[in-house]
């Protein structure tokens, strides 16, 4: 291996270190004035299981150095894959890195962030000189793990977690003789996931006296504007929800739609209710997405769109 040019050594050395993918953490503590302090750090690592020790390092030039040296402890938050913006916020110089962050104090008085893939609450046990950094070793007094994919950093940028596992898809157990199937049957999984993810909106509609068919009706009108009633009925039938003869009259009496010449359109009250349901769905959508990397989400969307294309060529778009 040739000796590097001194003028480019630091850059080349940093790039070489960047080939080692790391997780991303935010380490928090309190300063002497009881103000929260936090930094983004990828230097986190395990040291010992017994006693449970971890380490991380901070540049000697960091403005927050005195707080970490004198506080007696810190909290290490291993970030989840959707928290890259939070990582950026704590990596930039700022007088208030906690702006907009709904944090609270742990039992030892150090800041706790609301979300993380893992948390390690530590008391500072050792501080070592490490060139232009100080290495902090902490004894873990408490920890927590959540089922969220971690945020990774590689070659100067964020990366997705890619777990290597079995590539062979096992044939699900479907026994036609006795009418049973295993829980990895694809159509069962699709049906169950739909049932569970739509349940909050279904329950919210029921709470205000709306049937599923009525909810689908105002959904169609909210997305399409005014439609002929026979067109609405046709679309509802494709969902498996067969409307009764009084559905439009019932929705009109509830002030959720208006009618004119065999056509219907959603009312202001109906649209407000639909927006509430849509907000509920969006909230659940965001909560689910936190458990997946962007790559996993992209693959899931592609898969579901392909299932729709394969199985529904004769079914019109509902919206």
Question: Where do the structural domains in the chain lie, given as residue ranges?
Answer: 11-159, 176-311
Quickly count: other Cβ atoms within 10 Å of residue 166's Cβ.
6
* Phi and psi at residue 300, to the nearest 5°: -65, -45
Mean pLDDT of the chain: 87
Whether 247 shows a pLDDT value over 80: the answer reads yes
Q: How far are the Cα atoms of 66, 93, 291 from residue 232, in angstroms, in the given order?
A: 67, 56, 36
CA 146/CA 227 separation, integer angstroms: 47
Write down the residue that tokens 């009525």 correspond to: 214
Q: State residue 170's pLDDT score.
A: 61
Instruction: Check if 11-159 and 176-311 are the same fold.
Output: no
Q: CATH fold of 11-159, please?
A: Pnp Oxidase; Chain A (2.30.110)
Q: State residue 313's pLDDT score.
A: 64
Report the percent of the chain where pLDDT is more than 90. Answer: 55
Local structure of residue 150 (DSSP, 8 states) = B
Q: State residue 5's pLDDT score.
A: 66
Q: How far are the Cα atoms of 193, 200, 278 from residue 205, in angstroms, in the given order?
A: 19, 9, 11
Which CATH number among 3.20.190.10, 1.10.10.10, 3.40.50.720, 2.20.25.90 corresponds to the domain 176-311? 1.10.10.10
Q: State residue 164's pLDDT score.
A: 54
CA 143/CA 162 separation, integer angstroms: 24
Specify the higher pLDDT residue, 101 or 156.
101
Quickly count: other Cβ atoms within 10 Å of residue 197's Cβ.
13
For 1-5, 44-48, 120-124, 200-204, which range has the lowest pLDDT when averaged over its residues?
1-5
The model's confidence at residue 162, banded by pLDDT at 50, 70 and 90, is low
Q: State residue 99's pLDDT score.
A: 93
Q: Closest Cα partner for 43 from 153, 123, 145?
A: 153
Per-residue b/e over 16-39, b at no fewer than 16 CB within 10 Å? eeeeeebbbbbbbbbeeeeebbbb
Across the range 20-29, mean pLDDT stands at 89
Q: State residue 22's pLDDT score.
A: 85
Q: State residue 59's pLDDT score.
A: 94
């Amino acid at each position: 291996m040739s000796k590097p040019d001194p003028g480019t050594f630091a850059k080349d050395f940093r790039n070489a270190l960047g080939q080692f993918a790391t997780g991303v953490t935010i380490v928090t503590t309190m300063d002497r004035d009881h103000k929260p302090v936090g930094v983004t750090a990828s230097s986190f690592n395990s040291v010992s299981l017994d006693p449970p020790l971890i380490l991380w390092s901070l540049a000697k030039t960091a403005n927050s150095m005195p707080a970490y040296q004198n506080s007696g402890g810190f909290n290490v938050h291993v970030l989840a894959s959707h928290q890259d913006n939070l990582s950026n916020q704590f990596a930039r110089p700022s007088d208030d890195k906690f702006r907009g962050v709904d944090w609270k104090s742990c039992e030892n008085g150090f800041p706790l962030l609301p979300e993380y893939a893992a948390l390690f609450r530590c008391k500072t046990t050792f501080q070592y000189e490490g060139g232009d950094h100080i290495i902090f070793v902490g004894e873990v007094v408490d920890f927590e793990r959540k089922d969220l994919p971690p945020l990774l950093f590689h070659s100067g940028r964020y990366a997705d977690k890619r777990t290597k596992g079995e590539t062979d898809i096992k044939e699900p157990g479907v026994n036609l003789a006795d009418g049973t199937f295993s829980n990895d049957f694809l159509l069962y999984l699709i049906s169950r996931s739909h049932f569970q993810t739509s349940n909050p909106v279904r329950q919210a509609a029921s709470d205000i006296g709306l049937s599923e068919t009525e909810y689908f009706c105002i959904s169609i009108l909210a997305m399409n504007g005014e439609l002929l009633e026979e067109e609405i009925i046709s679309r509802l039938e494709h969902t498996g929800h067969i409307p009764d003869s009084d559905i439009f009259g019932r929705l009109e009496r509830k002030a959720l739609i208006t009618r004119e010449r065999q056509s219907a359109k959603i009312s202001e009250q109906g649209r407000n209710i639909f927006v509430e349901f849509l907000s509920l769905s969006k909230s659940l959508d965001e909560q689910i997405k936190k458990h997946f990397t962007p790559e996993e989400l992209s693959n899931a969307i592609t898969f579901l769109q392909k299932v729709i294309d394969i199985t529904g060529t004769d079914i019109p778009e509902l919206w």
